[in-house]
Amino acid sequence: MDIVYIRELEIETTIGIYDWEREVKQVVSLDLEMAADVRVAAITDDIKDTLDYKSVAKRLIEFIGQSEFELVEAMAEQVAHIVREEFKVPWLRLRLSKPGAVRGARDVGVIIERGCANELAKAEER
């Protein structure tokens, strides 16, 4: 399995459960690892033969920037759904954090994985 990744993608959004969090934009940070077979792209040197991380990032910036989630868990699940469905990614690992959300901590958040070995095997057969 090959992995295409995006690190520390920072996006301003409305997120949180407290009244003040609903009134100001906060930054969330994403680290995203996505399963992809990059062998064809390595041969052709053509973007159409790989997972276009710029397109993924643009889609997530648009979605998260317009969203108003209360919980990072809900945001993470929707992000995973978008990436898997719209970009046909069989497996991903997403770290979504809110920098500065807890005093004394650099950031807090969740790490989720979606997909499984069976889906990876199917993707590699294609």
Which residues are designated catalytic?
Answer: 98
Three-state DSSP at 117 gives: helix
Sign of CA pseudo-dihedral 28, 31, 4, 89: negative
Q: Which two tokens stand for residue 70?
A: 């209360």
Q: How far apart are CA 57 and CA 61, in angstroms?
A: 6
Q: How far is CA 103 from the centre of its chain?
A: 25
Return the amino acid letter for 83.
V
Q: Which two tokens stand for residue 12?
A: 């301003």
